[in-house]
């Protein structure tokens, strides 16, 4: 489509976050939140509560973020 582009940076960030999670798990970490820009992954929970991340609508960046539980 005219005006569209493919950004492969997300692939690299996803791989990096996945590797971080794998390394943390191999070290015995059971609770962690790893982020790289918009790429988020979690292990376990946050002191018995879910990890909460903010999600911003790409078309309305001026609005507050909507909280969501990371699973």
- pLDDT computed for residue 60 by the predictor: 75
C-alpha closest to that of 29 among 38, 20, 40: 20
pLDDT in tens, 6-64: 778 778 889 999 999 999 999 999 999 999 887 889 999 999 999 888 777 777 767 76
| pTM score | 0.71
* Alpha-carbon span 9 to 66, nearest angstrom: 24
Structure tokens at 22: 């794998």
């Amino acid at each position: 489509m005219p005006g569209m582009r493919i950004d492969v940076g997300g692939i690299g960030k996803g791989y990096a976050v996945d590797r971080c999670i794998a390394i943390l798990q191999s070290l015995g970490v059971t609770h962690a939140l790893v982020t790289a820009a918009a790429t988020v992954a979690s292990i376990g929970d946050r002191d018995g509560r879910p990890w909460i991340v903010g999600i911003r609508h790409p078309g309305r960046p001026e609005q507050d973020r909507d909280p969501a539980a990371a699973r």
